Structure 1
Amino acid sequence: MNKLGIHALVWAGDLAPESAKKVISQTKEAGFDLVEFSLHEPKVMDLGYTRELLKEYDLGIACSRGLTFDADVSSEDPASVARGMALLEEAVTITAELGGTYFGGVPYSALGKYNHPVTPLGRKHVIESMKRLADFADKKGVTIGIEIVNRYESNVINTAKQALAMLDEVNAPNMVIHLDTYHMNIEETDFVQPVLACGDRLGYVHIGESNRGYLGSGTIDFTSFFHALSMINYQGPMTFESFSSAVVSENLSNALAVWRNLWDEGMGLATHANAFIKGQIEAAHMGKVK
């Protein structure tokens, strides 16, 4: 029932035509239903070619991105907020043009370590921006996902409780919560209560290990997490995410703090992740049946 996805950065560091072909063909070969594109360098893409490749390989598409500190909708500076909104609207437009219906990531702040809490004015700008983004996306048939990230990647939202509060304020039917096990491991008290709290407002899931490497090689309590997903009858996508500077560009590697590589070849990592996730889903289902 759940579409299984994989992040494009497992395969290639950009989405230029040659890379897009590699990403899409290898995603299919590894047994996934969906590929997630990071739109951090959208200008290199050939949208028409990429859309046709997705159709050829019969793959679903999700898109995501984060913002930069000079284009940050949580800033007090209206010019920075405007630049951030322009990037987000561009990303939603690309998502729709690729045939996608989901755009997530971190649309509510820059992706990086802040040296101060979000200010009241900054948070006001976030809420206004998310309302505007949701309205813009709704006209294009796109759902907005609010990914919850750790304190070193945003000062706006770090827990499911905070994300739910934001959704209440924005009050947009096409805005959902995006949980990521890597970030949950840092910020949440466990892997069950946040899932139950989100309930039917959970729309997308990232499956990542605590060390960003092979699933099962770190400290994530996947058993509890997948059982919680089963408890709420979650039927949305589950997308594997892992990063290595063997693939990711130097600038993005630095932004993601990829200081050591736990893999250098994507296919073995991907096929292992696919089997691991399927096994967890099956085990959770059997536990629920019993």
Structure 2
Amino acid sequence: MNKIGIYYAYWTHDWDADFVPFVSKVKQLGFDILEVNSGTVTKMSNSERDRLKTEAHKQGIELTYCIGLPHEYDIASEDSSVRRAGIAFLKKSAEAVKYMGSKQLGGIIYSSWPGKLPGNKDKRAFVDRSVESMREVIKVVEDCEVFFNVEVVNRFEQYIMNTSAEAVEYVERVGSDHCKVLLDSFHLNIEEDDIHAAIVTAGDRLGHFHIGETNRRAPGRGRMPWNEIFAAIKQIGYQGAISMEPFLMPGGEVGRDISVYRDLRDGLDLDEEAGRALKFVRQEIEQA
């Protein structure tokens, strides 16, 4: 069965956080994986990384990494100095993931987040620059023996890729087995005509999968077609990680950037809700 994880920011208001306490928390709740902000880990000293790495090893928790690149690291930018900065940052990120003994980094690593197409310009030029930049980055990713997964997000958050088909075309152009696709049920629900077909389109290029309800609640609280989703995952033989990304709390950087403007907890205890969602997901996978 797929390993199941959860994103640390479910519990936080800000992106920068001490990830160590969340390792034992997710272990106690029954998760296999803790997903954390790769930007924070990239900026850490080796001693700080060692502290997190040691705790994860102690608890038997796998770490995966995710980021939406800030505008100063946009590898699709028209400004070559911005692209160079982004390329350098992503190379450092790959090296940080290797140092941690981990394998997976994903997110909006092909441009910036949030990102709007400037003016009325042709997006193809931005896609071309992104692909060219990623081809340079991926050489280091390969040397580090890690994987970069480009996340498909909705049109309100990015423009480079909004569908599974666009992501597949992108990774094929990059031309490396170490560049794969990250699909997210929240974004699939907005952009795809057929979620099952979108997952099948990704096929063996799928490297990571995010799950959450249509309104960012934890799985099992909404109308997401989970049977359809997990049936597609089984159909393509995907054995990789599945990571929850629920966001329930307004306020702080996380609430602002994710656009959570009302409290979605409805009196729920966050830990209990995460545990419930985990049981729901495992049951749905078994029944698909």
Give me the TM-score of the superposition, normalised by structure 2.
0.91
1:108-127 matched pairs, under 5 angstroms: 108-116=110-118, 119-127=123-131
Aligned to 2:21: 22
- Number of equivalences: 280
Distance 1:171 1:115, change over 3 A: closer
One-letter amino acid matched to 2:270 = G
Q: Is 2:36 aligned against 1:37? A: yes
Structure 1 residue 267, shift from structure 2 partner: 0.6
Moved more, 109-118 or 55-64: 109-118
SS in 2 for 1:219: coil
Q: Distance in 2 between matches of 1:192 and 1:254?
A: 31
Aligned to 2:248: 244
Q: Distance in 1 between matches of 2:112 and 2:122?
A: 11
Check whether the contact 1:20–1:50 (CA below 8 A) recurs between aligned residues: yes
Aligned to 1:4: 4
Check whether the contact 2:248–2:263 (CA below 8 A) recurs between aligned residues: yes
1:87-126 matched pairs, under 5 angstroms: 87-116=89-118, 119-126=123-130
Question: Residue 138 of structure 2: which of 117, 134, 139 is its match?
Answer: 134
Structure 1 residue 44, shift from structure 2 partner: 5.6
Check whether the contact 2:208–2:242 (CA below 8 A) recurs between aligned residues: yes
Check whether the contact 1:67–1:111 (CA below 8 A) recurs between aligned residues: yes
Question: Residue 52 of structure 1: which of 51, 54, 59 is its match?
Answer: 54
Structure 1 residue 216, shift from structure 2 partner: 2.4
One-letter amino acid matched to 2:208 = Y
Q: Is 2:205 aligned against 1:201? A: yes
SS in 2 for 1:70: helix
Structure 1 residue 175, shift from structure 2 partner: 1.2
Distance 1:120 1:230, change over 3 A: closer
Structure 1 residue 223, shift from structure 2 partner: 1.2
CA RMSD of aligned residues (A): 1.8
1:73-88 matched pairs, under 5 angstroms: 73-88=75-90
One-letter amino acid matched to 1:81 = R
Q: Is 2:274 aligned against 1:275? A: no
Check whether the contact 1:74–1:118 (CA below 8 A) recurs between aligned residues: no
SS in 1 for 2:65: strand
Q: Is 2:189 aligned against 1:190? A: no
SS in 2 for 1:145: strand
Structure 1 residue 20, shift from structure 2 partner: 2.1
One-letter amino acid matched to 2:232 = A
Q: Distance in 1 between matches of 2:28 and 2:153?
A: 30
Q: Distance in 2 between matches of 1:256 and 1:118?
A: 27
> Could you give the per-residue CA deviations for residues 139-194 of structure 1, whole angstroms, max 9, x where no partner exists?
11101111111111111000001001111111111111111000000000122101
> Could you give the per-residue CA deviations for residues 189-248 of structure 1, whole angstroms, max 9, x where no partner exists?
1221011111111121111111111322223111111111111121111111112346xx
Give me the TM-score of the superposition, normalised by structure 1.
0.90
Check whether the contact 2:218–2:245 (CA below 8 A) recurs between aligned residues: no
What's the % identity of the aligned pairs?
28
Aligned to 1:288: none
